[in-house]
Structure 1
Amino acid sequence: VNVKVISERQDVSTHYLEQILNRLRRSGLIRSVKGPGGGYLLTSKPEEISISEILRELEGPVAITSCLNPAEGCVRVDSCVTHLLWKALGRQIEEFLNTITLADLLSGRSYDDFTLIAGRGKGAVA
């Protein structure tokens, strides 16, 4: 898909979009095609790419608090009464995002459909 087409469709600047696409290209999720009619192509089927995988490549690991970010760590892990709560919630979010594929997101499904998909496993059709 051409960068200009994506930029217009998603209402984001081409400069910002290029940054996102370059990260996805370096991660191997997409590849670039040069020349007239060029653009970007997925390297796998949309049904095989989880939203979790995309977010990890763009944003890093899912961490709902800074203390759960592996790069920062937590100095109070042994005395924090909520650490395990945030860690468990983070795992639930990660598991949910692992069940939703790019194909699911592009299908225009409703929130309720995603909840059903998450209950059935990755790529399940509601």
Structure 2
Amino acid sequence: MKISTKGRYGLTIMMELAARTGEGPTSLKSIAEKHGLSEHYLEQLIAPLRNAGLVKSIRGAYGGYILSKSAEQITSGDVIRVLEGPISPVDFTDEDDPAKRDLWMRIRDSIAEVLDNTTLQSLVSFKDEGKYDNYMFYI
């Protein structure tokens, strides 16, 4: 399964809103400038997120967007499904070989489990805990 720019940029929007919780509405312009993205493209992505009830828009001179729920209640799976559709690595039917169908279903379920157990809060508070330290070799 390949996540398109819709899913990646949509997750960027949502992570920015989560990181700025409590600071008031955030404009798409500020997000676009910070990440070097097209504001026009972000406007296209925010509409389905708003329609799905994940964000609220605030009108006015200091308007923008805020999360409609807490960052702990919104998962990356919520965002990806809104922008990308159902999570599935391949389309399969009941006519497929049962072994292959089982493989595709296990892959789909594994991807969904990771996405559904990763909240926006966990993404914005992620800290490198030394898991990927650079190795130092001495000769």
Per the shorter chain, which TM-score range? Answer: 0.7 to 0.9
- In our comparison, the structure showing a higher alpha carbon Rg is 2
Alignment of 1:40-55 (within 5 A): 40-55=65-80
3-state SS of 1:92 partner: helix
More off after superposition, 99-108 vs 17-26:
99-108
1:10: how far off? Answer: 2.1
Distance 1:112 1:53, change over 3 A: farther
3-state SS of 1:81 partner: helix
Q: Which residue of 2 aligns with 1:122?
A: none
3-state SS of 1:66 partner: coil
TM-score where L is the length of structure 1: 0.76
3-state SS of 1:88 partner: helix
Q: Which residue of 2 aligns with 1:101?
A: 119
TM-score where L is the length of structure 2: 0.69
> 1:54-86 CA deviation, whole Å, 9 max, x = no partner?
11111111111133xxxxxx2633x35311101
> 1:42-61 CA deviation, whole Å, 9 max, x = no partner?
00010111111111111111
Higher relative contact order (CA 8 A, sep 6+): 2
CA-atom RMSD, angstroms? 2.0
- Structure 1 distance, partners of 2:110, 2:129, is 16
Runs of 4+ in 1 over 3 A off after TM superposition: 108-113
Residue identity over aligned pairs, in percent, reads 33
Distance 1:112 1:75, change over 3 A: farther
3-state SS of 1:48 partner: coil
Matched, 1:14 2:39: yes
More off after superposition, 79-88 vs 47-56:
79-88
Matched, 1:60 2:89: no
- Structure 2 distance, partners of 1:112, 1:7, is 30
Structure 1: give runs of 5+ residues left out of the alignment.
Answer: 68-73, 114-126
- Structure 1 distance, partners of 2:43, 2:66, is 14
Number of aligned residues = 106
Q: What is the aligned counterpart of 2:62 among 5, 15, 37?
A: 37
Distance 1:62 1:76, change over 3 A: same
More helix by share: 1
3-state SS of 2:72 partner: helix
